[in-house]
Amino acid sequence: MARVCMVAYTHYQFDSRVRREAEALVQRGDSVDFICLEDDNGENPEYHNGVRLIKISSKRYRGSDARMYLTSYLYFFMAVTFKLAGLQLKNSYQVIQVHTMPDFMVFVAILPKLLGAKVVLDVHDLMPELYQSKFGFSETHFLIRFITWIERISIGFANRAIAVHKPHLDALCHHGNPAEKFTLLLNLPDMKIFGNGVDDLPETKTSFDLIYHGTVSRRHGLEIAIQAVLALREKIKGLRLSIIGEGDDISRLTHMVEELNILDHVHIRKSVPLDELVGQIKSADVGVIPLLYDDFTKYMLPVKLLEYVALEIPVICTRTETIETYFDNSMIQYFSSGSATELADDILFLYQNPDRRRDLVANASKFNKVYNWEKQKQSYYQLIDALLEK
């Protein structure tokens, strides 16, 4: 039985990737402690599906001020560094797995590594591209070059690293990181949670429900979805868009919905735990992912997309190179970035053509036969076991 400690600047119950990996280790008999943020709702169970949760009293910053992001990260970093050092002396962890962001969070494991623990850095996102997108910096800006250097030394410090898909790995290698350091693990849904498909909907259903869940920021393009709903509210009876999540664009979008007087058609709600979220997704007719194309989003393979596919929900999504690497035109209803008119046309088309919706679901399901967590879980186990053998 391996003794593993994971670290992430996240709320555990809401984060599908960290839960999937931690609980996979518990399922095979490993001992897993997880250091994470304290829940905002005050519900802080000691264990979740066998994973021991160690909560840090810190608020997750979701604003647009780069200095506040750094301050929030640094507070969590310092608190975890001391907490993990004490836990390492007590529990002698064999593996420390740190989930980004930020990349430098891996250095909380400096004492455990000195004491013999192996370190895995799970690179969820590309921080250089994120800051280029979020704050309008160019690739040559000194801050972006500094963040890229931090990424390289963070990956260099770890014994192994994880990339989330092939274009993501290509970008990390372009930044100067060695390909041989990485294991590729797609951010796939756990089919124990997301694998049951759509429940039979009542024949009397009179609404047409769109859904988006996850981070709510400008780069996710939700104002485009709201504009599309505005254009269609008289054409589609019972049209509703549910936005479930948190982020720095919530306030602006809420005000936009109020100003447009479409509160009956657009509902914005806070994040809910995964087990509750699944039921809400199942009641939807179409998943909408209106990403705004930029240096960061072009590398995204949104987990929400994979969750909709697993739950047999047809998807309308912005066309990007990364998503097209895994899904062709028969699997996703694509539209051009930033085009509310094109998105509205696609929503109306799917509303009027249930056969197209069924075809999208059937074709997208082919993805799950090639890429699924049950297969990738074995690669994850091999990664952990290889470190234990060293």
Mean pLDDT confidence for 19-26: 94
Q: What's the mean pLDDT in 37-47? A: 74
| CATH classification of the domain holding 46 | 3.40.50.2000
- Domain residues for the domain of 227 are 192-370
Q: Quick one: tokens of 317?
A: 């999504």
pLDDT at 204: 65
Tell me how far CA of residue 192 lies from CA of 94, 105, 189, 195, in angstroms: 28, 30, 9, 6
The arithmetic mean of pLDDT across residues 153-173, rounded, is: 96
Same domain flag for 208 and 163: no
Number of folded domains that form the chain: 2
Average pLDDT over residues 333-346: 97
How many residues does the structure list for the chain?
Answer: 390
Q: Is the pLDDT of residue 248 over 80?
A: yes
Residue 62: its pLDDT value, please?
Answer: 64
Are both 152 and 120 inside the same structural domain? yes
Least confident range of 41-45, 192-196, 226-230: 41-45
Judged against a pLDDT cut of 60, whether residue 198 lies above it is answered with no
In the chain, the percentage of residues whose pLDDT exceeds 90 is: 75
Per-residue pLDDT band for 299 (boundaries 50, 70, 90) equals: very high
Residue 41 pLDDT level (bands cut at 50, 70, 90): low
- Statement to judge: residues 32 and 111 lie in one domain: yes
Residues 169 and 203 in one domain: no
Say if residue 136 is in the same domain as residue 153.
yes
Contact 357, 333 (CB under 8 A): no
Instruction: Enumerate helices (H) and strands (E) in the chain, giving the number of each.
Output: 15, 14
Q: Are residues 206 and 183 in the same domain?
A: no
25 plus 142 within the same structural domain: yes
Alpha carbon separation from 55 to 2, 38, 104, 109, 245 (Å, rounded)? 22, 5, 20, 17, 21
Helix/strand/coil (H/E/C) assignment for every residue in 192-216: HHHCCCCCCCCCCCCCEEEEEECCC
SS3 20: helix
Is-above-0.95 flag for pTM? no
Q: Which two tokens stand for residue 255?
A: 């005000």
175 plus 280 within the same structural domain: no
Give strand pairing partners of 5.
Answer: 33, 96
Q: For residues 117-130, give the mean pLDDT.
A: 94
How far CA 362 is from CA of 77, 315, 320, 353, in Å, comes to 44, 12, 21, 15
What lies within 8 Å, CB to CB, of 137 at 6+ separation is 131, 143, 144
Indicate the Cα dihedral angle 345, 346, 347, 351, nearest 10°: 100
250 and 176: one domain?
Answer: no
Which ranges of 115-181 would DSSP assign to H, the alpha helix?
127-135, 142-157, 166-174
Average pLDDT, the chain: 91
> Are 286 and 303 members of one domain?
yes
The verdict on 165 and 212 lying in the same domain is no
Whether 183 and 252 share a structural domain:
no
